[in-house]
Amino acid sequence: MAPPLLALQNVSLSFGGAPVLGEASFSVSPGERLALVGRNGSGKSTLLKIAAGMIEADHGTRFIQPGTTLQYLPQEPDLCAFATTLDYVEHGLGPGQDPYRASYLLERLRLSGKEKTSQLSGGETRRAALARVLAPEPDVLLLDEPTNHLDLPAIEWLEAELKSIKSALVIISHDRTFLKALTRKTLWLDAGRTRQFDRGFVHFEKWRDGVLDEEELARHKLGRKVVAEEHWLRYGVTARRKRNVRRLRQLHQLRQQSSISRNAGSELRISVAAGKQSGTIVIDAKSVSKTIGSRTLVSDFSLRVLRGDRVAIVGPNGVGKTTLINLLTGNSAPDTGEVRLGANIELALLDQTRSALEPRTSLGDALTGGGRDTVLINGVQKHVIAYMKDFLFTPEQLTTPLGVLSGGERARVMLARALALPSNVLVLDEPTNDLDLETLDLLQETISDYPGTVLVVSHDRDFIDRVATLTLIAEGEGRWTSYAGGYSDMVGIRGSGVRGTPVPRETTKAKAASLRSPPVQKKRKLSFRQKHALETLPGKMSRLLTRIKQLEALLSDPALFGRDPEEFARASAELSQKQDEHDEIENQWLELEILREEIEGK
């Protein structure tokens, strides 16, 4: 086996309080591809900075083979010392290295090199930083969240580029698909210590779950031993004082180990405040178009979203994903066409820009809205500190300004705020940014269990595969195409991902048809009774909704039950009957409307 190019041995570091790292070790040999994983706040970025020589550990050793070249990509690159992106990338090249590689990489990452560094977006900054670390073709490449703020074309290009280079890689990422494609070893950082698994990330999670199961069994055995020792001290023979003192000392050690074991496994708990049930049809968009400036972002787009659908929207940055979300949710009016929202819609929005987070606002005020110490979750008041703990914040962080929180912590704040709002439609714009793998798992489970409808914009292919029942992809020039299932299903039908050129439409239709059950023979025309029902059912639904709102207003009077129990019971029964009647009529209308569109070829 080749000697390591880079090695850390028993490094430890603390920042004035509890240690961040304790006896962490790893090594990187030529050509190795290593995934560095762990929960947010576990010290992954700190360990990578020590490996890069950016900070010095309190204890332990760092070794780098003489002559080894190393490049490090930080989470937040600083380009302010350079005028343009080309200046920044060329400055990273060493003597004798090809200056044209800087221009080539910038072009492949959709940058001209003339961009002023003071005016770059987050995604442009990340692409320029990637070009800088890739340009010298180093022996060791340390990448901290390389896919953050990148769109799918850039992620897929980067994945292919890293596969082709000879550099050894150490990658921190929460993009499962990216890690599975690139890594051959996995380094797990947990409670300040490292554990190495000599297989890639694709096998890691099964191994990790086995390790955690074994540790849970060991904690159980340790707890039983503590109980046994306490019983012996209280009721056992006291013939020899020295022996008792020794066993007492052992008991204190066991209690300490048990306490550490219990505290090591703090769990994130996500729950959604559910609103009223929406109507069967949540969004009905017909022939919608939207142009901003000279760019057509949405052109002649139609979509019907039903209650319970999970719709993923994918495409390159700037193609109009957020514009499409705004059109579908009624936050923006289309230039042409119509968007109708269903009954009882309650929206909760997670904004990708985190713009709602004022840096000087304290964590407690951000969660409660200020002036209170409780949060209302599903109609129950919950103390803000208890709610903070659900999202892995400590009581000491109650007054912490949002501006000093890490990216992962700010992401958890946005989640906590959005999910506390009663809703039956969740709109998640880039929800996976800065979230660790465990939080992503729990968010995915929460979305799966959510009784309402979900619209999600994401560049995380694995996340889309796990949650989406329908995927919308931008085809260019304002055209959007829908595919049943997640990202992998879309690629299987379409023949390519976001970065590729779609296969001809006839081929796409043929592939999609082969995955469906045999089609039902279409009727050639609507009967007179069906036409009459299509014309009259909307009026019936409108009258029922009016009555439903009257009954809800009556029952909202808290004094009604005490004043007139019989009237309360009668109104409750009528409300339930009217809601069932409305749902039944709405389903009839929906079936007829779908049949009409099939016959008319829409």
Q: Which residue is it, tokens 């060329």?
A: 90
Kindly give, in sequence order, each residue whose CB lies less than 8 Å from that of residue 100, ignoring residues fewer than 6 positions away. none
Question: Over 329-350, what HEC string results?
Answer: CCCCCCCEEEEEECCCCCEEEE
Inside any domain, residue 458: yes
296 and 438 belong to one structural domain:
yes
HSE of 450, CA atoms in CB hemisphere, 13 A:
32
Q: Which two tokens stand for residue 1?
A: 């086996």
Q: What is the pLDDT of residue 240?
A: 45
Last residue of some domain: 219, 243, 264? 264
User: How many angstroms separate the CA atoms of 273 and 319, rounded?
Assistant: 32
Q: Report, as an integer, the average pLDDT of 442-470.
A: 88
Q: What is the pLDDT of residue 241?
A: 46
Inside any domain, residue 245: yes
145 and 15 belong to one structural domain:
yes
Q: What is the pLDDT of residue 509?
A: 45
392 and 473 belong to one structural domain:
no
Inside any domain, residue 44: yes
Q: What is the pLDDT of residue 436?
A: 78
Inside any domain, residue 502: yes
Q: How do residues 376-417 score in pLDDT, each as one tens digit?
A: 776 778 888 888 888 878 888 888 888 877 777 777 888 888
Of 41 and 252, more confident: 41
Last residue of some domain: 421, 439, 465? 421
Q: Report, as an integer, the average pLDDT of 354-366.
A: 79
The H-or-E segment that residue 89 falls in is: helix 85-90
Q: How do residues 148-168 score in pLDDT, each as one tens digit?
A: 888 888 999 999 999 999 999
Give the CATH number of the domain where residue 294 resides.
3.40.50.300
User: How many angstroms separate the CA atoms of 128 and 79, rounded?
Assistant: 9
The H-or-E segment that residue 230 falls in is: helix 201-235
56 and 114 belong to one structural domain:
yes
Residue 288, strand partner residues: 301
Q: Which domain holds residue 589?
A: 528-600
User: For residue 601, what pLDDT band results from cuts at 50, 70 and 90?
Assistant: low
Indicate if the alpha-carbon torsion angle 177, 181, 182, 188 is positive or negative: positive
127 and 115 belong to one structural domain:
yes
261 pLDDT above the threshold of 50: no
Q: Which two tokens stand for residue 533?
A: 């029902």
* Burial class of residue 34 in the structure, from the number of CB atoms within 10 Å of its CB (0-12 exposed, 13-18 middle, 19+ buried): buried
Report the chain's terminal Cα–Cα distance, integer Å.
64
361 and 464 belong to one structural domain:
no
170 and 270 belong to one structural domain:
no
475 and 441 belong to one structural domain:
yes
Amino acid letter, residue 76: E
Q: Which two tokens stand for residue 380?
A: 């129950």
Q: Which residue is it, tokens 């992503």?
A: 440
377 and 433 belong to one structural domain:
no
115 pLDDT above the threshold of 80: yes
478 and 594 belong to one structural domain:
no
Inside any domain, residue 1: no
Average predicted confidence (pLDDT) for the chain: 82
Question: How many C-beta atoms surround the C-beta of residue 362 within 10 A?
Answer: 16
Angle, CA 350 vertex, CA 346 and CA 354 arms, to 5°: 145
69 and 16 belong to one structural domain:
yes
146 and 242 belong to one structural domain:
no
Indicate if the alpha-carbon torsion angle 411, 415, 418, 420 is positive or negative: negative
User: How many angstroms separate the CA atoms of 248 and 48, rounded?
Assistant: 42
27 pLDDT above the threshold of 50: yes
User: How many angstroms separate the CA atoms of 392 and 480, rounded?
Assistant: 39
Of 569 and 509, more confident: 569
Number of domains in the chain: 5
User: How many angstroms separate the CA atoms of 419 and 416, rounded?
Assistant: 5
Ordered DSSP codes for 14-53: ESSSSEEEEEEEEEE-TT-EEEEE--TTSSHHHHHHHHHT
Residues 48 and 75 sit within 8 Å (Cβ to Cβ)? no
For 178-188, b/e burial (b = at least 16 CB within 10 A) is bbebbbebbbb
Kindly give, in sequence order, each residue whose CB lies less than 8 Å from that of residue 134, ignoring residues fewer than 6 positions away. 71, 105, 141, 161, 165
Q: Which residue is it, tokens 């290009």?
A: 157
Last residue of some domain: 379, 399, 421? 421
Backbone angles phi, psi at 516, to 5 degrees: -95, 165
Q: What is the pLDDT of residue 18?
A: 67
